[in-house]
């Protein structure tokens, strides 16, 4: 029943990719496109499984991938999108050209969560961790940033120890479930 495992052959390479394997994969995809990942390894002369080839291409070899550190703008966009979409990394990555879903997820878990906690914000709910301290914060330098967020539908609550962001557009449907349309 179902598909056979992608790596059932005994003689498939596992582990780190060599420079030669990378070059073969790049050359094949440039000539023939991505196509069927299950048949690509044999056609490209690689002793790898299709899944390994697909992941190598998507996460490391694609020419449109961004390299290097995330910018401050990317940080804020990730935080705002996560407050809207939760852990839907592929949807978040679709709004960050050149970044992969796996890269964003790893960055969130290693850097952004700590950054939010240090600001006094819960990384899951995007609300203040200690809302009892509700004296308004002096926000002279951040006025433009707050106004920009409000223009695109974010409610920013500023307190002395944190700033939480809440999305305010009820007309945008973020329900990503699939079901038959509702008939009246």
CATH number of the structural domain spanning residue 162: 1.10.10.60
Predicted confidence (pLDDT) at residue 149 exceeds the cutoff of 90: no
Question: Does residue 46 lie within any of the structural domains?
Answer: yes
Supply the pLDDT for residue 151: 47
Instruction: Show the domain range for 158.
Output: 72-167
Interior/surface letters 108-118, b for 16+ CB within 10 angstroms, e for the rest: beeebbeebee
- CA end-to-end span of the chain: 40
The sign of the dihedral angle between the CA atoms of 94, 100, 104, 105 is positive
Question: Does residue 40 lie within any of the structural domains?
Answer: yes
CB atoms within 10 A of CB 71: 10
Question: Does residue 178 lie within any of the structural domains?
Answer: no
pLDDT category at 79 given cuts 50, 70, 90 is very high
Predicted confidence (pLDDT) at residue 143 exceeds the cutoff of 90: no
Q: Could you give the number of structural domains in the chain?
A: 2
Predicted confidence (pLDDT) at residue 131 exceeds the cutoff of 70: no
The CATH number of whichever domain residue 24 belongs to comes to 1.10.10
Supply the pLDDT for residue 12: 83
Mean pLDDT of 81-87: 93
Residues 101 and 133 in one domain: yes
Cα–Cα distance for residue pair 164/129, rounded to 1 Å: 9
Residues 51 and 93 in one domain: no
Percent of the chain with pLDDT over 70: 65
Question: Does residue 121 lie within any of the structural domains?
Answer: yes
Contacts of 111 (CB under 8 A, 6+ apart): 70
Mean pLDDT of 60-72: 93
pLDDT category at 14 given cuts 50, 70, 90 is confident
Residues 126 and 54 in one domain: no
Better pLDDT: 146 or 32: 32
Mean pLDDT of the chain: 79
């Amino acid at each position: 029943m179902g598909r056979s495992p992608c790596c059932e052959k005994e003689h498939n390479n596992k582990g780190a990719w060599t420079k030669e394997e990378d070059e073969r994969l790049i050359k094949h995809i440039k000539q023939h496109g991505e196509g069927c990942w299950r048949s690509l390894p044999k056609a490209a002369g690689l002793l790898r499984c299709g899944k390994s080839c697909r992941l190598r291409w998507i996460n490391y070899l694609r020419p449109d991938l961004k390299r290097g550190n995330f910018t401050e703008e990317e940080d804020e966009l990730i935080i705002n999108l996560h407050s809207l979409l939760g852990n839907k990394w592929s949807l978040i990555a679709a709004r960050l050209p050149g970044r992969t879903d796996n890269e964003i997820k790893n960055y969130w878990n290693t850097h952004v969560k700590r950054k939010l906690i240090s600001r006094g914000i819960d990384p899951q709910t995007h609300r203040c961790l200690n809302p009892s301290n509700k004296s308004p914060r002096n926000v002279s330098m951040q006025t433009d940033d707050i106004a920009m967020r409000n223009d695109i539908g974010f409610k920013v609550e500023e307190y002395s120890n944190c700033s939480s962001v809440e999305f305010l557009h009820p007309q945008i449907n973020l329900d990503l479930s699939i079901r038959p349309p509702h008939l009246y």
